Amino acid sequence: MPLTHRKDLGLLALRLGTGGVLLAHGSQKLFGWFGGGGIEGTARAMEHMGFTPGR
């Protein structure tokens, strides 16, 4: 396998891994999947940190 193909496969694997992590993190915040608090839990956490909701 040429070096360029290996490099492309490596970059694809990194992109898929990063995308999976970001998808899981966003799903926790928005939907409450994977043990997250959902939108209500995220809003409470943000208020606890001192952020106010937008108008």
Q: Cα separation of 18 and 11, whole Å?
A: 10
Q: Cα separation of 43 and 28, whole Å?
A: 12
Q: Cα separation of 26 and 11, whole Å?
A: 22
**pLDDT, one tens digit for every residue, the chain (55 residues):** 788 899 999 999 999 999 999 999 999 999 999 999 999 999 999 999 999 887 7
pTM, rounded to two decimals: 0.74
Question: Helices 3-31 and 38-48 meet at what angle, rounded to 10?
Answer: 80
First to last CA, the chain: 56
Reduce the DSSP state of residue 5 to 3 states and report it.
helix
